[in-house]
Amino acid sequence: MFYIFIAGILWGIIGIFVNTLSSLGVSVPAMSFLRMTFACLIMSALALIRNGRKVFAVDSKTLLLCALLGLVSHGIFNIFYSNSIRLNGVGVAAVLMYSAPVFTGIASRLIFHEKFSRLKLFALALNILGCILTVTGGNLDATSISLAGVLYGLGSGFGYGMSAIFGRLAGEKTDSITMSAYSYLAAMLFLGIFTAPVININAKILGISFLYGLIPTSMAYLLYYNGLRKINNTSLAPVVASIEPVTAVLVGLIIYNEAIGVINFLGFAIVLLSIIIIIRTQ
């Protein structure tokens, strides 16, 4: 659980990289492509250093699972989440993305036959409520919500939620580093083909993109996948990782002087309470 918790914190600082790259004129498709490209290069190099070329010799089933992980949980997720933000704004998009534990829970029940106790269901409901309050501060204007944006948002939640499922399945026969390298390769190819990003490269953009691919991507997902190996209930991983929106809002407060109200702090407390409950059930 600790690894997953730290992964959530690292994902919570993504806004720093996105805002910095945006200020340099990098589009969302371009920064997503650069993120996956550098993550693929970093994890491939690490895999080669650790075990040599033999580390990439995986069976076809594992390769397919790694490709699905990259396609669904990195590639499609990035496109859906970006479109959700474009149509409905950051707050609504983030709330919809945190439908992920629901999708993970359903898939875990069907694939791994995991059972939900009343306490775990209560913690899940608390978690969703806490995420909503944390991100929106209780202000969710439904009058301007786009239906297409809602569908994109739920799609991003599905993609995020499936990372725990595909990560656990692919990790059964290969190590986390190899799995990550193949998944990032699949995501890089998908984003490169379907978003056709236009990138103006300079040293500063390359440096920040490298850090983006390293810290909240390679390091975060490596921790997340290793954490999945140590828990019994895959469905609970997104709940523990939901420390991400808490971190993101705190980053907004500390670095960008964004206003935070009492409701946001109430959301923080509810998210942390749900995580504590989940950890105590393990």
Using CA atoms in the order 168, 172, 173, 175, what is the torsion angle rounded to 10 degrees? Answer: 60
Every domain of the chain and the residues it spans: 2-281
pLDDT of residue 141: 62
Closest residue by Cα to residue 33 from 159, 166, 196, 178: 196
**Residue 148, phi then psi, degrees to nearest 5:** -60, -40
Using CA atoms in the order 52, 56, 57, 63, what is the torsion angle rounded to 10 degrees? Answer: 170
| Sign for the pseudo-dihedral over CA of 224, 225, 227, 233 | positive
pLDDT of residue 270: 92
* Predicted structure pTM score: 0.90
For residues 126 and 123, give the distance between their C-alpha atoms in angstroms, rounded to a whole number. Answer: 5
pLDDT of residue 223: 95
Token pair for 251: 């980053």
Token pair for 253: 């407060």
Mean pLDDT, consecutive 10-residue stretches, the chain (282 aa), reads 92 87 88 93 91 80 93 90 79 80 89 85 89 78 72 91 91 87 94 86 94 95 91 85 86 82 89 87 68
pLDDT of residue 206: 95
For residues 75 and 71, give the distance between their C-alpha atoms in angstroms, rounded to a whole number. Answer: 5
Token pair for 223: 């921790």
| Sign for the pseudo-dihedral over CA of 144, 147, 148, 152 | positive
For residues 62 and 47, give the distance between their C-alpha atoms in angstroms, rounded to a whole number. Answer: 16
12 secondary structure, DSSP code: T
